[in-house]
Structure 1
Amino acid sequence: MDTEESRTEENRAGDAERRKPAISLDRLSSRYRLEFEELSTEFHGKCPVAWNDTHGGYWFTSGHKELFDLARRADVLSNDFDVEGVRRGYQGISIPSPTGERRFRGGFLEMDPPEQRYYRQALNPYLSPAAVQGWKPVIEEITRACLDEKIESGRIDFVDDLANIVPAVLTLALLGMPLKDWDVYCEPIHAMVYTPMDSPLYERVRELQMTMGVHMMETINGIRNNPRPGLIDELVTCEINGYRPDDMEIFGVLLLLIGGGFDTTTALTAHSLEWLSEHPDQRERLSRERETLLDSATEEFLRFYTPAQGDGRTISQDCVINGTEFKEGDRLWLSWAMANRDEKVFEDPHTIHLDRKGNRHNSFGLGIHRCIGSNVARATFKIMLTQVLDRMPDFVCDPAGAVHYDTTGVINGMKHLPATFTPGKRLGAGLDETIAKMQRVCDEQRLAEPVTVRKARAKLDD
């Protein structure tokens, strides 16, 4: 055996030794969803950081402390997706890595500083707590219209008829896109998460994605030529570390903002309503004590259901953290979902306690890449939830009709959640008419301007 072969064998032996303890868990399998609680408890007790031999091999972090210590180490972690192979060849935040179909980065979530930092600085004024306050009347009115469409019938699908629509319309409003186009984006954004490539429906989903992509590029060019307030206008005019983003980079950022704005809030809302239907005493308590309970209940639903299950990273330099030896180029998965069930931090972790105190969950991530839309998500969720409690207080979800995502390796979502309730009275105009009105409000009041320019709440009076 020559020297080079000998060195290779030594490296393999060394890798095998340091890649312990080892597990074999396919996060994209039904086992991950169906045995989640058992797996979480096992990993927390035996291997809070482990080498997972699936999908090419990567480190899997499930412990709360271990994840906290790793996620904040931007000095040794990279989110970069090196599409052109001109840097270090890193593969972004997806594990398994993206297929050859995707030739753009997933927005600033697949960038490292300083680019990532410039993007967040540019977009924060549109998504801050103060900025979100200005949008609450719009969120309330869209939610009211969605419920009005079903209130007289006594039947609703909380996914199709509410939780899909409200976040979609609001996200387009924030972007500065036509609100009526929400349905161009809604189905493909959700379906691209839950439809596997071997599904007979995959080709249809691809066609929907293509239609959505063409529409998005046309919108980018339209706003570039005829500026209108919103996140897209900021993206086409901002300077990022000395350069102007091209259309494909902006496209990637928009997919990140739309995907994050749509599917995660939908998932949280659907799961929470399903649980409240299963626990009517807790539903009545939450409605009765909402002034003191709504905030803690929201954080507890976020912890328990963790819509975005985790993110990938690449180790950017050799290091040892809490006794685990990482090598440059190693892949790492940060399991926000499992860390949120760590019994060392959360008493009775597999049970929802609406009044849980000191809820240090990681559902919006940690460190420099923490979710930029967390304020929007919380506000939208609370408004949808409270309006359902007020107008459909006795709702009962149909377990036979509820359809969860087959796998939850990316988003812990639902496709359908039908329910029945005692019919009530409409309070206003229907959805289409309301969306048209909200478009006029957005345009005339320039609602999508950043909070540094516009601080007032939307006014909906005719």
Structure 2
Amino acid sequence: MPDKPSRGRTLNQYLDPYPYFGRLREVGRVVRIQTAFAGEGWLITRHEDAQRLAGDPRLSVEDRHAGPELRCRLDRFKFRFADCLPETMLVMDPPEHTRLRRMVAREFTPRRVAALAPYIEETVRKLLAPLPPDGTADLVSVLAEPLPTMVICRLLGLSEQDAARLGPFVSVLTELPVDPEVAARVEKARDAVWTYLSRMIEEKRHKPDDGLLSALISAHDDEGRLTDTELTSMAGVLFAGGAETTTQMIGSGLLLLLRHPRQLARLVESPDLIPSAVDELLRFESPVTLGLIRYAAEDITLADVTIPRGDLVFVGVSSANHDPRRFPEPDRLDVARRDNPHLAFGHGPHYCLGAPLARLELQTVLSTLLQRHPHLELACHPAEVPWRPSALRGPASLPVRLGPRDAADR
């Protein structure tokens, strides 16, 4: 049977926000919420609506549809994705989105992802090698942070030295710009990554290799090649998304298993459950907590509520993933759950292109880590685990005991 939620000290709302989302789902299918960086917006709370509206053309990713008041709030902290990542499919609707996605998908293939499997396994083993059989370690700094950056750099055709130089900027890119100081820090990190990737693209033009970045440089379709801005933005999206989102996914997934030791033991005993466990961990703890950011391009009526044109809308991923109307006992972790159409990777035209790579990384982490350290357990109470001040959900550190408690105490 799946574990019940953790007992003991009360978990704070950031560690366990799902009762809050549960209350919102009962209030309505769409509810008005307050955000730290953009004022008021709307949250789509239920799975059926979230799945449908994630691909609804009336909800745009382009912030040109933001109303005047919302635009003023976003500009106050320079929190405009189109400024951070111009001319990339993350901030484009069809048909431009369709063109860019088609060109990237042509090169970011399942075969390219599968070819990374030996490197991912080798890297996980290398990162874990210095750890003793027992004792303690921080799995975020040891594993969850370095691995995704190294993997995405390998995919792009960048070196491990490039990964070391770019790594410090990754977590900064997703900090919430709740004040001008944070906004300035995010902008500085964005500029540093942009400059670095621009230089790498120029080098790849003269000395191409078999990496994805070189493939995108030479990619073309009936509408021509990617522009320099499109190339740099796309590299930035792949780097930031592939690194930071996967870091949070690994950290949150491991913490979730450590909070549910019986489920962790099931994976140790039955490694064949790891693929289904990965999707269950993503369902339960999506890196995108609040939701996918959209702007109402026109008035939208849902149930008896009308979302006015120009308003901010969050397609509530985490709330939808815990909707009991779609998932039986949604607040119980079950690593063997089969019928699991979670929305952690989005849905519709903007479904995450990197989903197969993210799954592969988490599967490799679980299989390798649990084989080496089958008695893994938290070294602190779950409520004491610090969380990142980020737009993405994940622990800032994850202290664990690597072996049985009696071995660690010797």
**TM tier relative to shorter chain:** 0.7 to 0.9
In the alignment, which of 312, 325, 328 is matched to residue 344 of structure 1? 325
Q: CA deviation at 1:240?
A: 6.9
Match of 1:78 in 2: 60
Amino acid at match of 1:70: L
Matched, 1:308 2:291: no
Q: Contact between 1:81 and 1:105, CA under 8 Å: does it hold in 2?
A: no
Range 199-208 or range 122-131, more displaced: 199-208
Task: Indicate yes or no: 2:43 matched with 1:60.
Answer: yes
Please say if residues 300 and 352 of structure 1, whose CA atoms lie closer than 8 Å, have aligned partners that are also in contact: yes
Does residue 1:43 correspond to 2:24, yes or no? Answer: yes
Q: CA separation of 1:324/1:235 partners in 2, compared to 1, >3 Å: closer, same or farther?
A: farther
Point out where structure 1 has 5 or more consecutive residues left out of the alignment. Answer: 1-29, 83-87, 424-462
State the Cα distance separating 1:95 from its structure 2 match: 12
* C-alpha deviation, 1:221, in angstroms: 1.4
Q: Please give the secondary structure, in 1, of the residue aligned with 2:116.
A: helix
Match in the other structure for 2:393: 412
Listed one character per residue, the Cα deviations across residues 223-253 of structure 1 (whole Å, up to 9, x for unaligned) are: 1232223332233333477354433333322
Report the alpha carbon displacement of residue 307 of structure 1 after superposing the two structures with TM. Answer: 1.0
Partner of 1:353: 334
Residue of structure 2 equivalent to 1:261: 242
State which of 124, 138, 151 in structure 2 corresponds to 1:170: 151
Q: Which amino acid aligns with 1:100?
A: K
- Kindly report which structure 2 residues correspond to 1:102-113, keeping only aligned pairs within 5 A, or say none: 103-105=83-85, 107-113=88-94
Tell me how far 1:363 sits from its aligned partner.
0.6
Q: CA–CA distance in 1 between the matches of 2:141 and 2:293?
A: 30
Q: Is the 8 A contact 1:306 1:363 kept in 2?
A: yes
Letter in structure 2 aligned against 1:246: T
Amino acid at match of 1:368: P
Picking from 266, 284, 287, the partner of 2:268 is: 287
Residue 74 (structure 2) pairs with residue 97 (structure 1):
yes
2:108 aligned partner: 127
Is 1:155 the counterpart of 2:133 in the alignment?
no
Greater CA radius of gyration, 1 or 2? 1
| Conservation of the 8 A alpha-carbon contact between 2:280 and 2:335 | yes
- Whole-angstrom CA distance in 2 between matches of 1:271 and 1:95: 34
Distance in 2, matches of 1:32 and 1:123, equals 38
What SS does structure 2 have at the residue aligned with 1:403? Answer: coil
Structure 1 residues 73, 95: closer, same or farther in 2, change over 3 A?
farther
Report percent identity of matched pairs.
Answer: 26
Deviations 1:397-453 (A, max 9, x none): 22267321246xx21112111222249xxxxxxxxxxxxxxxxxxxxxxxxxxxxxx
CA shift, 1:322, in A, is 4.5
Check whether the contact 2:29–2:49 (CA below 8 A) recurs between aligned residues.
Answer: yes
1:223 to 204, 207, 210: 204
Specify the code of the residue in structure 2 equivalent to 1:304: F
CA RMSD, Structure 1 to Structure 2 (Å): 3.1
1:439 matched residue in structure 2? none
Distance across 1 between alignment mates of 2:362 and 2:185: 30
The separation in 2 between residues aligned to 1:395 and 1:232, in whole angstroms, is: 38
> Aligned in 2, Cα 1:356/1:282: closer, same or farther, shift over 3 Å?
same
TM-superposition CA deviations, 1:103-122 (whole Å, max 9, x none):
34362111111221122222
Give the deviation of 1:81 after TM superposition. Answer: 4.2
Count of equivalent residues = 384
Superimposed CA distance per residue, residues 320-376 of structure 1 (whole angstroms, 9 cap, x where no aligned partner): 445543443232111111111111112222221112231121111011101110000
| Contact preservation (8 Å) 1:158, 1:418 | yes
Consecutive aligned runs of 4 or more in structure 1 exceeding 6 Å deviation: 93-96, 199-205
Structure 2 unmatched ranges of 5 or more = 1-10, 405-410
Residue 207 to residue 113, structure 1, CA distance change in 2 (3 Å): closer
Within the candidate set 334, 340, 352, 1:371 is matched to 352
**Match of 1:25?**
none
CA distance in 1, matches of 2:373, 2:111: 30
**Preserved CA contact (<8 Å) 2:284 2:333:** yes
Q: Compared with structure 1, are the counterparts of its residues 197 and 213 closer, same or farther at alpha carbon in structure 2 (3 Å cutoff)? A: farther
Match of 2:374 in 1: 393
Compared with structure 1, are the counterparts of its residues 199 and 57 closer, same or farther at alpha carbon in structure 2 (3 Å cutoff)? Answer: closer
Question: In structure 1, how many angstroms separate the alpha carbons of the residues matched to 2:300 and 2:136?
Answer: 56
1:312–1:138 distance in 2 versus 1, CA, 3 Å: same
Bigger shift: residues 275-284 or 331-340: 275-284
Equivalent residue in structure 2 for 1:297, among 277, 283, 295 = 277
Alpha-carbon spacing, 1:169–1:223, altered in 2? closer, same or farther (3 Å): same
Matched residues in 2 for 1:181 and 1:153: separation?
32
**TM-score (structure 2 length as normaliser):** 0.83
Question: SS where residue 67 of structure 1 aligns?
Answer: helix
Contact 1:114 / 1:241 at 8 angstroms: preserved in 2? Answer: no
CA 1:143–1:378: 2 relative to 1, 3 Å: same
Distance 1:52 1:109 in 2: 24
- What residue identity is the alignment partner of 2:124? T
CA deviation after TM superposition for structure 1 residue 204, in Å: 6.4
Cross-structure match for 1:457? none
